[in-house]
Amino acid sequence: MTDALTDAVDPLEKPPEDKKKIEVKYRPSYAVYDDFTNFGQAGVYYHSLSKPDKQGNQVEINEWLWDPLHIDAGSCDAGSDNFGLLLRFRNRRGVWRNWLMPLEMLSGGCEELRAELLKQGLRINHNKRTQLPNYLQSQIPPKKLECALKIGWHGDSFVLPDKVIGHRDDIFFQTDHSITADYGQFGTLEEWQSNVSRYCIGNYFLLFMACRN
């Protein structure tokens, strides 16, 4: 078990023999790399130039900021309030996660935002942590979403923390914290029908209790 956990903690640490060669056209700029490159491990990098020396020469600087973190969409509610960003990032176990983050978390010193990302498994360069709000607000999301601030019906769709039941694909649950396990799925519909619902037929008390849960 110890060996298995050790192998699972850092699946992204071993670089490949042939690293992808990246040429940066514009500096300063941010860039996201999902795999190892000539700059190093996967992640978000800040590409810049040093101050000119006496001869006017500048050195290219490539700083690793945090694990791969993409901004896939921007969001707001039906009244054009409660704006947010849909973040997609890879945690310490190499698993991709989605989180629709309220933009109001960028106010102040962003301690709560960084704490939430760390809680969800994003590795952040502590010395570069103050660049996070600059990075997030510098990106132009390619997609627009409508955010739901509550679990439940949103028009003709039913919104859950991790999915939407209905025909809309442009709505997402927005929250300032990670999704809890209260809405997790256990088993299958067929198992529920076989082990629970068939016993409710004709048993009104059991039917009532099943509906409450």
| pLDDT tens per residue, range 27-50 | 999 999 999 999 999 999 999 999
For residue 75, the enclosing domain spans 69-183
- Domain's final residue, options 43, 66, 89: 66
Same domain, 85 and 150: yes
- Decide the pairing of beta strands 43-49 and 157-159: unpaired
pLDDT in tens, 55-99: 889 999 999 999 999 999 999 999 999 999 999 999 999 999 999
Q: Which amino acid is at 127?
A: N
Total domains, the chain: 2
pTM for the predicted model, two decimal places: 0.77
How far apart are the C-alpha atoms of 33 and 16, rounded to whole Å?
A: 14
How far apart are the C-alpha atoms of 23 and 130, rounded to whole Å?
A: 26
Same domain, 115 and 179: yes
Same domain, 83 and 53: no
What is the widest separation between alpha-carbon atoms in the chain?
Answer: 90
| Per-residue pLDDT, 20 | 83
